[in-house]
Chain A
C-alpha cells in the first residue's frame, strides 16, 4: 500500500466543462501514472510523470493534460470533457526506477453527460 488517494471518487459533469482529478501519495514515490479503464480495453496509460515537472504522454493522451508541481500530487485535467471520456480513472505509482511493483489508487468514476 503506497498511501495513494484520489479525489473526487465520483463525479458527474456535463460535456464541455473542465474537470480536474487529483492523485495524492504519501510514499515519496518518484513515478506517477494516470490510467483509464474501460470495458474491453483494460487499462490504458494516459500520462505519466518521472519527477516534479517532468511528464510524458501515454497511448491515449489526447484531450488530457497533467501537472506535477510537488512529488506527492499528480493532477489530471480534462480541458473540455466529452462523453468519450466517461471512464474509471486510476492513479498509480512506482517507487524508483528498476523496482517492479506498481501501486494503485482506488479510482475515480467520471461520468460526462
Chain B
C-alpha cells in the first residue's frame, strides 16, 4: 500500500547549519507530496507541496523537489534558525484516492543557538 518513510531523528543542529530531512514514498498512480510542520503545542500546518514530478515546493526558506525517479521528496534549508525547531512530517495524497493523506512518522528538529 501507499506509505511514507522519513528519518525519525531527533535531529539537533546549530543555528545557521544546513538542514536535510530525507523522505521517500511508495504510492500507486501519481501522488501529490507535502511537508507539514508542527510547532510545540500546536496542530500541523502545511509548509510546502508539489503536485507533479520535478516540481519544487518552497516556503520560509525551505525547499523540496518531487523526484519521481528516486521516489523522494527531501526537505532542505540552507540556514536554520532557532524558530525552526519543530516536528516535520512528510506526507502524500495517493493519485488514486484524493480523500486521504498518508503521513510519515515525523522528524523532530531542535536548533540550538
Contacts and interface: CB of A to CB of B under 8 A. Distances in A.
Interface of A: 4, 31, 40-43, 45, 48, 50, 90, 92, 94, 97-98, 100-107
B89 A101 contact: no
A90 B103 CA distance: 13
Interface string B67-89: 00000000000000000000001
Contacts of A102: 36, 44, 46, 101
B105 A90 contact: no
B44 A90 contact: yes
28 contacts: A4-B43, A40-B105, A41-B105, A42-B89, A42-B103, A42-B104, A42-B106, A43-B89, A43-B103, A45-B100, A48-B100, A90-B43, A90-B44, A92-B43, A100-B32, A100-B51, A100-B93, A100-B98, A101-B49, A102-B36, A102-B44, A102-B46, A102-B101, A104-B44, A104-B45, A105-B43, A106-B43, A107-B42
Where chain A touches its partner, the secondary structure class is strand
A48 to B, nearest CB: 7
Contact of B46 (A45, A98, A101): A101
Interface residues of B, number: 20
A104 B99 contact: no
A66 to B, nearest CB: 15
B67 to A, nearest CB: 18
Given A45-B100, A48-B100, A104 B43 contact: yes
A50 B99 contact: yes
Contacts of B43: 4, 90, 92, 104-107
A18 B44 CA distance: 27
A96 to B, nearest CB: 9
A86 to B, nearest CB: 17
Contacts of B32: 100
